[in-house]
Amino acid sequence: MTKTLPYFLLGTSIFLFSFLSYAKTEKVTETPLPNGLIVHEYKMQNGMRLLFVPERSAPVFTYQVWFRVGSATEKMDPKLKKTGLAHLFEHMMFRGTPKVPDGKFDTILSEAGATGLNATTWNDRTNYFESLPKESLDLVFRLESDRMANLVINEKLFKTELGAVIGEYKMNEDKPSRVAYRELYDLAFTVHPYKYTTLGTLEELNSFTVEEARFFYKKYYAPNNATLILLGDFEIPQAIKLAEKYYGKMKSQEIPEHVPPTEPAQEKLRTKEQIHPLAQTDLIMTGYHIPNINHQDIPALEVAASILAYGNGSYYEENLVQAGIASSASCYTAKSRYPSLFVTSVQLATGQDTKKALSVIEEGVNFVRKGKFSSTELERAKNQYLLYTYSELLSLSSIGSTLGESLMSSGSYTRDFEILEAIKAITKEQVVEAANKYFVDKNKNLLTLKPKAK
Amino acid sequence: MYKILTLFFILITTANAEISLNENPNSGNFIYEQDTKALVTEVQVVFQSGSIDDPKGKEGLSSIAFESLLRGTKKNSKKDFFSKLETLGGSTSVDVSSNRAIISLSVLSDNLKPALELLSEAILSPSLKKEDINGLIQERIGSLNQELANNRSILKRAVRFSLYEGTSLETPPSGTLKSVPNIKVEDIKNFLDAHRKSENVIFAIATNHSKNDVKKVIEEVFGDFPEGKSPAHPKIDLPKITGRNLVVVEREGSSTTEMTISHMGILANDPIRDEIELGLFVFGEDMSSRLFQELRAKKGWTYGAYATQRLIEIPRSHSGIFSIYAFPQSEHTKDTVLRSIELYNEYVSKGLTAKELSFAKKSNGNAYPFKFASSSARLTSRLYQRLDGAPFLPTKEYRASLKKMNLKSIHKAIKKMHDNKNYIITLVGDPKQIEPLKKEIPELNSVRKIEDIMNP
């Protein structure tokens, strides 16, 4: 195992409640990252959270705004009870405000030299981001805060953007792997909102109204539901002043903490077959129910995923892909706010037998459950995870994404690094125990996506 | 006596060292960028060989040959090799394009030296066992079959084939379902013997280690690199396109149509390159562009609409491909194609407006520092300069060159490179939506249907 600085032990112990607070903005913590950069956390009076990561090796910065709302939230909201609006609304945010008319937001930022201007929506969060030269910090604060408070939502813009979203929906329908993913979650969940996709259904999309969009905006795009992550070349006092100037007047809202229906424990194996007109070979996906990101078993499950499918030396790469049974194989632990899935995805090679592939997938599961992996394989798996996490620290935007995803799903922006520390110390016994707890048939969902018969 | 012995050892060391690194931006074999905070080091071993060198009937050879280097060594079986490298926190991949092959290594920075030793073993002493090669060929056949599930991959194949038919650029580096099974172990050995030469390799590295340390390690571990040059790339005579031509790949049941309007692009070192790039920015490379605003923001027909030279990998040292690219919902196929043609006509005949030019200059000038924002961004730009001759100017120089551009110079460049009379429209989608379009495209010269994209 590679030796690294005990950065996180240092980070957790700091918790500096600074006396150097600003009029309306309080300093909360200061946490070093594994690469030595420091995350400075502040909280504004209206509840907006600010994470600053100064890094001055180039005259640029990355600006990300994260909202604690996603497709699962809207499904739980008693006034909406549908999915698709959170994502459709993400599109609407690029339209206009009274001060920045439709079409101008992109243009102004582009003229200032913005790169990576985009947004994404997921189950439990939505984020907006861009990177700019350092001179444009004031401009970005102005534009981002303006669209957070003053968005124009009218029928015409709503319908146009709905067209683009339907285009995105159809584009996904043409991708067998996306359809399989949707069907797996639909199979695995019976009542929890993770059952539904972020994109929603065509029926739901066509049913949304401008009033629902306005309701959604007012309720969830509030400062106490938002986090600004700013990384790069800037001074913290300057950033706090700008935050207070542009976000300070926004009023906090009452954000309901929706409690999702508890997914009943699965009692037996569930299976489903689906046909896709563009599929070429069978795609097998399995999903085992696992706990939420803050659960103590998550690090062990991450190591299990790494043993099975991270790197060319992984079990499935060797026994499925290099053996010619599959053209690709992957595993991941969905680290989410609520209990989710440990997913395996195997695309069969042409002419290969699905039964054979299923048997190798099961052998892999037993390889972990029975602890057949050596100490070298355990170390390989750990270091592959380390490589992946450290690689995320190579650019400002990916550092921001790591902090944001962690915060949105766990409540702590350092959760990913806590998992990393736990993985460094994990034992074979812990991995075996977790595998035996979760990788059992009565907890398993099996989806097979097949080509249309020729 | 001590001095004589020292000299003797220096001579021995010098005689064995076949790799001597130098950083000349246009001819050197070493590109180094430092990031003192990087916990992961990224290494690229770049060979200036690629699918352009594949013999007829064995398309995919270069790609499989370079991949075969990562299938075990004379000392370590495939399993042991990956186990050792990945236990060091390393990961490797191979990316072969038309005129280059890049073997990449990402590794925890603390383990750089042992990982480089393993990489060197793989490149210089591969096992090339028949069973491993056969496994690799089967894997490739599997991934080629999977391409048939992806309309975008099919589109890229179709565009490439239509524009470069009859040349060694007509097939993607991965080869075809017909050519890959023809590749034998002997072909791979011969290819590697010819192309794995010290004068054909470039080492590019972004790391927290010092330049001298890195240089020393590379010269040491790759000391046995075979001397010499690789054969010159075959000369490609670019085919000529006459009139507007439609190429169709029918994919029944598709919800969207993949669409391009394409013709040859421009060399990376062409003096009008910056003017062309600036024009493309206005026409289709940005969310504020004409294509995006009209087809996506205003009409909502397509999720994306772009004009770019980067959609399809063709080396910019061999012209590249210019494409207008969109993927409309099936029912908007006709509207999107016809409006794209109109917008292209307008772009070529009128060029930019003064407002657009001013906007593009500011945007490109302001965004330029991002080329220097991370060690990997700098590394990529410098490698591109080394391989294709694309100048990597300091910010000040680039901004000065922008200042000199005017409406006239840009329109002149657009007219020189762009051609709104002779191009290929490629559509991959449901035939029901494509059929009615055939009668509506103005001045259509030919229609061609590709039945088998793997053997067109």
CATH number reported for the structural domain that contains residue A236 in this entry: 3.30.830.10
CB pair distance less than 8 Å for B91 and A387: yes
Write the single-letter amino acid at B313.
E
pLDDT tens, residue by residue, A299-308 = 999 999 999 9
d(CA B64, CA B182): 12
Residue A2 lies in a domain: no
Half-sphere exposure of B455 (CA within 13 A, CB side): 6
B293 and chain A: CB distance < 8 Å anywhere? yes
- Chain A contact set for B303 (CB, 8 A): 164, 167-168, 171
Average the pLDDT over each of B44-48, B297-301, B428-432 and give the range with the smallest value: B297-301
Mutate to test the interface with A, among B298, B366, B372 (most CBs of A within 10 A): B366
Pair A86, A174 in one domain: yes
**Does residue A59 sit at the B interface (CB-CB below 8 Å)?**
yes
Q: Do B145 and A280 touch (CB under 8 A)?
A: yes
Interface test with B, best of A327, A346, A384 (most B CBs within 10 A): A327
Give the pLDDT confidence score for residue B269 in this predicted structure: 84
**pLDDT tens by residue, B339-376:** 999 999 999 999 999 999 999 999 999 999 998 889 99
Maximum C-alpha span of chain B: 90
Same domain, A232 and A277: no
Residue A149: inside a domain, yes or no? yes
* Inter-chain residue contact B303 with A164, CB threshold 8 Å: yes
Query: Which of B89, B92, B142 is opposite residue A349, by nearest beta carbon?
Result: B142
- Higher-scoring residue by pLDDT: B388, A427: A427
Check CB contact of A375 with chain B, cutoff 8 Å. no
Contacts 24+ apart (CB under 8 A), A256-263: A256/A77, A258/A73, A258/A76, A258/A77, A259/A76, A260/A72, A260/A76, A260/A192, A260/A193, A260/A338, A261/A191, A261/A192, A262/A191, A262/A192, A263/A189, A263/A190, A263/A191, A263/A192, A263/A289, A263/A339
Q: pLDDT at residue A7 above 80?
A: no
Facing B288 at nearest CB: one of A107, A160, A311 = A107
Choosing among B91, B291, B452, which should be mutated to test the A contact, i.e. which has the most A CBs within 10 A?
B91
Mean pLDDT of A431-450: 98
Distance from CA of B387 to the nearest CA of A (A): 24
**What distance in Å separates the CA atoms of residue A152 and residue A272, rounded to the nearest whole number?**
44
Residue A212 domain flag: yes
For range A409-436, the mean pLDDT:
98
Span B37-63, pLDDT tens digits: 999 999 999 999 999 999 999 999 999
- Kindly state whether B432 is in contact with chain A, defined as any CB-CB distance less than 8 angstroms: no
Question: Is the pLDDT reported for residue B300 higher than 70?
Answer: yes
* Count of structural domains within chain A: 2
What are the chain A neighbours of B294 within 8 Å (beta carbons)?
none
| pLDDT at A400 > cutoff 90 | yes
Cβ contact A168–B303 (<8 Å): yes
Give the pLDDT confidence score for residue B316 in this predicted structure. 62
- Whether A261 is covered by a domain: the verdict is no
Confidence check: pLDDT of B6 > 60: no
- Nearest-Cα distance to chain B for A311, in Å, is 7
Interface test with A, best of B39, B78, B150, B250 (most A CBs within 10 A): B39
Cα gap B456→B447, rounded to integer Å:
14
Which pLDDT belongs to residue A20? 45
Three-state DSSP string of chain A: CCCCCCHHHHHHHHCCCCCCCCCCEEEEEEEECCCCCEEEEEEECCCCEEEEEECCCCCEEEEEEEECCCHHHHHHCCCCCCCCHHHHHHHHCCCCCCCCCCCHHHHHHHHCCCEEEEEEECCCCEEEEEEEEHHHHHHHHHHHHHHHHCCCCCHHHHHHHHHHHHHHHHHHHCCHHHHHHHHHHHHHCCCCHHHCCCCCCHHHHHHCCHHHHHHHHHHHCCHHHEEEEEEECCCHHHHHHHHHHHHCCCCCCCCCCCCCCCCCCCCCCEEEEEEECCCCCCEEEEEEEECCCCCCCHHHHHHHHHHHHCCCCCHHHHHHHCCCCEEEEEEEECCCCCCEEEEEEEEECCCCCHHHHHHHHHHHHHHHHCCCCCHHHHHHHHHHHHHHHHHCCCCHHHHHHHHHHHHHHHCCCCHHHHHHHHHHHCCHHHHHHHHHHHCCHHHEEEEEEEECCC
B324 contacts: CB under 8 Å, gap ≥ 6: B260, B261, B262, B284, B291, B305, B306, B307, B340, B344
On whether both A185 and A276 belong to a single domain, the answer is no
Closest of A372, A381, A369, A354 to residue A443, by C-alpha: A369
User: Which residue is closest to B106 within chain A, CA to CA?
Assistant: A387
Chain B residues in contact with A452 (beta carbon < 8 A): 253
Domains of chain B, by residue range, sit at 19-221, 244-449
Q: Which residues of B touch A131 (CB under 8 A)?
A: 370, 373
Do the domains B244-449 and B19-221 match in fold? yes
| pLDDT at residue A163, as a whole number | 86
pLDDT band at A47 (very low <50, low <70, confident <90, very high): very high
Q: Which domain holds residue A148?
A: 7-247
Mutation target among A132, A156, A322, A395 for the B interface, most CBs of B within 10 A: A322
Structure tokens at B272: 């009008």
Q: Is A278 on the interface with B (CB under 8 A)?
A: yes
Q: Report the 10 Å Cβ neighbour count for B439.
A: 7
What pLDDT is stored for residue B5 in this prediction? 42
Interface contact A174, partner B, CB < 8 A: yes
- What is the reported pLDDT for B317? 65
Angstroms from B221 CA to nearest CA on chain A: 22
Question: Residue B390: what pLDDT?
Answer: 80
- Across A289-328, b (16+ Cβ under 10 Å) vs e yields bbbebeeebbbbbbbbbbbbbbbbbbbbbbbbbbbbbbbb
pLDDT, tens only, A201-220? 999 999 999 999 999 999 99
* Residue B302 near residue B332 (C-beta atoms within 8 A): yes
With a pLDDT cut of 90, the percent of chain A lying above it is 88
Taking the Cβ of residue B86 and every Cβ of chain A, the question of whether any pair is shorter than 8 Å is answered with: yes
Same structural domain for residues A210 and A172? Answer: yes
Does A387 lie at the interface with B, CB-CB under 8 angstroms? Answer: yes
CATH tag for B19-221 (out of 3.40.50.880, 2.160.10.10, 3.30.830.10, 3.40.718.10): 3.30.830.10
The answer, yes or no, to whether residue A1 has pLDDT greater than 60, is no
Per CB-CB distance under 8 Å, the chain B contacts of A4 are: 39, 110
Nearest CB neighbour to B149, from listed A2, A278, A393: A278
Residue range B244-449 in CATH 2.40.160.40: no
Provide the pLDDT for residue B286. 87
pLDDT digits (tens, 9 = 90+) for A309-350: 999 999 999 999 989 899 999 999 999 999 999 999 999 998
In this predicted structure, the answer to whether residue B15 has a pLDDT above a threshold of 50 is: no
Q: Kindly state whether residue A137 falls inside one of the protein's structural domains.
A: yes
pLDDT for A256-292, tens place per residue?
889 999 999 999 999 999 999 989 999 999 999 999 9
Q: Which of A432, A315, A332, A363 is nearest to B83 (CA)?
A: A315
Q: Mean pLDDT check: name the lowest of A180-189, A378-387, B231-240, B431-440.
A: B231-240
Distance from CA of A387 to the nearest CA of B (A): 6
Give the best-scoring range by mean pLDDT among A236-250, B9-23, B387-401.
Answer: A236-250
**Residues A12 and A87 grouped into a single domain:** yes
pLDDT at residue number B287: 85
Check residue A17 and give its pLDDT: 40
**pLDDT for residue B24 is more than 90:** no
Query: B208 in contact with A at a CB cutoff of 8 Å?
Result: no
d(CA A322, CA A217): 49
- Is there a single domain that holds both residue A11 and residue A117? yes
- Whether residues A153 and A202 share a domain: the answer is yes
More confident residue, B145 or A329: A329
Q: How many CB atoms lie within 10 A of CB A11?
A: 21
Min Cα separation A168/chain B (Å): 6
For residues B101 and B95, the answer to whether their CB atoms sit within 8 Å is yes
Answer whether residue A424 is part of any domain. yes
Choose the closest CB to A324 out of B108, B135, B374: B135
CA A10 to chain centre: 27
Q: Which of A51, A22, A229, A222 is nearest to A140 (CA)?
A: A229
pLDDT in tens, B309-318: 888 776 666 6
Q: Is residue A438 part of a domain?
A: yes
Confidence tier at B142 by pLDDT (50, 70, 90) = confident
Q: Which of A35, A36, A166 sits opposite B329 (nearest CB)?
A: A166
ipTM of the complex: 0.90
The reported pLDDT for the residue numbered B149 is 86
Considering the domain boundaries, does residue A259 fall inside one? Answer: no
**B contact residues 351-410, partner A, Cβ 8 Å cutoff:** 359, 362-370, 372-376
Chain B residues with CB-CB distance to A396 below 8 A: 373-374
Confidence of residue B18 (pLDDT cuts 50, 70, 90): low
Given a cut of 70, is residue A8 above it in pLDDT?
no
C-alpha to C-alpha distance for A350 and A325, rounded to whole angstroms: 8
Q: Which of B255, B296, B335, B378 to mutate to test the interface with A (most CBs of A within 10 A)?
A: B255
